[in-house]
Amino acid sequence: MKVPVLNIKGKTTGREIELSKNIFGIDPNEHAVYLDVKQFLANQRQGNAKTKERSEIKGSTRKIKKQKGTGTARAGSIKNPLFRGGGTVFGPRTRDYGIKLNKNVKRLARKSALSMKLKAKSISVIESLKFKNPKTKSFVDVLSAIGLNTKKTLFVTNGLNKNVYLSARNLNKSEVITDSEISTYKIMNAQHLVIEENVIEKIESNLG
């Protein structure tokens, strides 16, 4: 599978890069993609919601009125959940929403996501992306040149490229990540994937 290499002006450089069929050309496993995305989103949840139950409320445990003869319901403590300021019944507790997932499943999910994008012709390979200064207009010009102004785009760079990252930070539909930050969720969440040429080898090495 050969894909043309573009320059930052959106034109072909005359070179093509060979993409591994074992990474970008497999039969996608949609369930593996689902599990990996589910794990990613579950791990983002903080799980720190907490309410106090009656045993945790600060207050007297004295019986506030006699058991019988008041004409109202029995009440043993001011911390009764039925009273204002009382404890909460079956309220949320702190918990970990994280899900464990086999490494082989995660690897299969990432391969499947990349294969889906390539089949949909939603992957572009670009030469090294470098800006002298962080400037949003420079990044917008690159998007316009490739024809991705209106699409949700994910740029994958070779290591941290501060100027490129800062240039794209103000754009809602564009995100810049390093090759080590790539995930199934980020791939599937973007409409188009733009990968630096020298990142392809790293991706194939990690998933091979």
* Residue 133 is assigned to a structural domain of this protein: yes
169 and 196 share a domain? yes
Residue 128: is its pLDDT beyond 90?
no
Percentage, residues of the chain above pLDDT 70: 100
pLDDT of residue 122: 93
* Residue 96 is assigned to a structural domain of this protein: no
Q: Which residues contact 201 (CB under 8 A, 6 or more apart)?
A: none
pLDDT of residue 144: 92
pLDDT tens digits, 14-34: 888 999 999 999 999 999 999
116 and 160 share a domain? yes
Strand partners, 4: 16
Kindly state the average pLDDT of the residues 67-74. 92
CATH number of domain containing 141: 3.40.1370.10
Who wins on pLDDT, 1 or 191? 191
65 and 146 share a domain? no
Looking at the structure of the chain, the number of domains it has is: 2
Range of the domain at 159: 2-46+101-207
Q: Read off the pTM.
A: 0.82
26 and 84 share a domain? no
Kindly provide the residue ranges of all beta strands, DSSP E only, lying in the chain, ordered along the sequence: 2-6, 12-18, 123-126, 153-157, 174-178, 192-196
* Residue 80 is assigned to a structural domain of this protein: yes
